Every structure is written in structure tokens, then in C-alpha cells.
Structure 1
Amino acid sequence: MIVETLYYLAGIMVIVGALFSFAAALGIVRLPDLYTRMHSGSKAGTVGSGLTLLAIALVSFDGSVILRALIGFVFFMLTAPISAHLLARASYIAGYRPTTHFVVDDLEKSGGLPSKE
């Protein structure tokens, strides 16, 4: 009884994770500029892969597989947002500006750019 419930729960988690991953892929293809594409890929992609790894940990009855899935989940949750932030900042400093959809450019207003000298 409990094993079947775990399988159904893991199946739901895999389906929801696949939907988030699809939304991330669709956002990467359809969104207008680098920053919105990066946001879609880092946020929705992280949730999609995280749910899939948690589903694997849920249905696996091997301790080493559960440990690796949980370590992978923690790795995704820690590295994806940080790397997206660093890539966005580096591209901004390199001169790639957002589209006109952005109303406020906080980085330019704060003087957070390095000098061009």
C-alpha cells in the first residue's frame, strides 16, 4: 500500500518536473532577451530537475541512490541561481543591455559598473 502510494507520488513529481522543464525550454526559445531567458532557464529548470531528482530519491530503496539524488538536488538549488546571477552581471558589464521592456535599470543607476579606464 505505501509503496504504491510512493510510486504515484513520484509519478506526479516527475510529471510536474517535466512541465517545469518544458516551461523553461519554452521560455528560452520565446523570451526576448538574454536576461529573461536566463531567468526562465535558471528558475524553472532548477525546479524541474529538482522535482525529478526528489522523485528518484522517493522511489529508490537503495541508500546510495537516495544520497546521490539528494546531493544533486542540493547542488542544483545552490548553484543554478548563483551562476545565473553571475552570468547576467558579466553580460551586463560586457555591454549587453536589456530590451526596452525594462522600466528601471538599477545597476546603471547605482553606479555598480566598473570603470572603462
Structure 2
Amino acid sequence: MTEILVSALLLMGAALMLLAAIGIIRLPDLPTRMHATTKSGALGTALIMIAVAFYFAEVAVVTRALAIIAFIILTAPVAAHVIGRAGYFVGVPLWEGTIKDDLKTSYDPETHYLRSGFEEDAPKKPAASKKTVKAKAKPKR
């Protein structure tokens, strides 16, 4: 019975990993590719680790498998978000069929200023350089 459960979990995990790989190849732009790899890849890896935990059924292996699952589920979405946002900021083009672009009204590509919507008066020019800040901070004699 355990072999059937382990086999089913391994096949589902491998199928989800294959789906993530196909998503990288077939999807049109960076955000959708990141979505495919994050969701399918994390779930596929989790299913494979659960299969490993069931197969070996030892405390050390189960603990490691659960730690791997927790690590992937915590880090994969954050990494995908950071990579997707960095791609947007450096100018990676979105797919022409993209309907919603939330950052378009908040991000200025010339100054690289990203407004959150909570500030009262957004600066119209970039922040002063460190030399300017140091020069202003020195007391006059």
C-alpha cells in the first residue's frame, strides 16, 4: 500500500515539475513564467518530498523532508516576486495581451522612483547624492 501511495505522489510531483518546465518554455513573458515555476515547482517539490518521507518513514528523513518543504514554500514566492519586479524595473517587456499593469501609474522609469500611494507629496526629482547630504549636514564655523 505504501508503494502505491509513494508512486502516486512521485508521479504527481513529477507531472507538476514537467508542467513548470513547459510553462517556462510556452508562456509569453516573465511574470507568467515566474507564476508557473513558483506554483507548480513548489507544489511538485513538496509532493516529491512527501513521497520521500513516506518511503523512508524515519524521523530524521521526515524532519528533513518537512524542512525542505517549508523552505521552498517560504522562499519560492518571495524569490519570484523579487525577480519579477527586477525584470519590470529593468524594462523586460510585458506580453502585448497583458490587461492589467498595476505598476505603470506608480513607477517612473526615468528616475526609478516607485510611489506607494500613501505619500502626500512625491519628490519630483531623485534624492540628493551622499556628497550633497554630507555637505548640508556639516555645521558652519
Provide TM-score, normalisation by structure 1.
0.88
Write out aligned runs for 1:8-23 (5 A).
8-23=4-19
User: C-alpha displacement at 1:17, in angstroms?
Assistant: 0.5
Counting only pairs closer than 5 Å after superposition, residues 5-44 of structure 1 correspond to structure 2 as: 5-44=1-40
Q: Identify which of structures 1 and 2 has the higher relative contact order when contacts are C-alpha pairs closer than 8 Å and 6+ apart.
A: 1
Q: How does 1:1-117 map to 2 (within 5 A)?
A: 5-109=1-105, 111-112=106-107, 114-115=112-113, 117=126
Larger Rg: 2
Cα shift at 1:57? 0.8
The Cα shift of 1:15 comes to 0.4
Aligned partners of 2:33 and 2:102: how far apart in 1? 19
TM-score norm. by structure 2 comes to 0.74
Count of equivalent residues = 112
Return 69-78 or 89-98, whichever deviates more: 89-98
CA distance in 1, matches of 2:74, 2:104: 27
Task: Choose between structure 1 and 2: higher helix proportion.
Answer: 1
Structure-2 separation of matches of 1:22 and 1:75? 21
Query: What is the distance in 1 between the residues matched to 2:62 and 2:107?
Result: 43
* SS of the residue 2:104 aligns to: helix
Name which of structure 1's ranges 65-74 and 94-103 shifts more when overlaid on structure 2.
Answer: 94-103
CA distance in 1, matches of 2:95, 2:57: 49
Distance in 2 of aligned mates of 1:106 and 1:97: 14
The alignment partner of 2:92 has SS state of coil
Moved over 6 A (4+): none
| CA distance in 2 between partners of 1:76 and 1:112 (Å) | 30
User: One-letter code of the match for 2:80?
Assistant: A
Rounded to whole Å, the distance in 2 between the matches of 1:73 and 1:95 is 33
Unaligned runs of 5+ in 1: none
